[in-house]
Amino acid sequence: MSAIDTDHFREQLLDERKRVVAALQNLHDDHPGSLTDESGDETAFDNHILDTATETYDRELDYTLEENSEHVLADIDAALKRIEDGTYGVCTDKGEQIPLERLEARPWATLCIDCQRERERR
């Protein structure tokens, strides 16, 4: 059995939930419209976008958020439920323990990195 500090993660999840809800409201209130290509240098748009600090960061993050926020929200709610069920931190695919570093970075993770990558490949 693991000794995951579920109180700690519950707090993180509730915090993140507030942020996601606020972000969604913000996006829906003030939709940025179509993304115009000003820089002409967007070939490197990929999963590393969150790691790059460019002037287009905020705008692209908005789009990433809009696409992902509702999924994240569902994932957060599911994670909160799993904390109650006592199954939090277990990979829902193969049932192995999700590494704590991953939960710290992404408290709503339902899959270990390997299973996540497999799923994203589909």
Residues that bind Zn ion (CB under 5 A): 91, 93-94, 112, 115
CB of 117 to Zn ion, least distance (A): 10
Between 80 and 91, whose beta carbon lies closer to Zn ion?
91
Between 17 and 82, whose beta carbon lies closer to Zn ion?
82
Between 15 and 104, whose beta carbon lies closer to Zn ion?
104
Residue whose tokens read 């606020």: 22
Residue whose tokens read 């509702």: 70
SS3 string, 28-54, reads: HHCCCCCCCCCCCCCCCCCHHHHHCCC
DSSP 8-state secondary structure symbol assigned to residue 88: T
CB of 96 to Zn ion, least distance (A): 5
CB of 95 to Zn ion, least distance (A): 8
CA-derived radius of gyration, the chain: 17
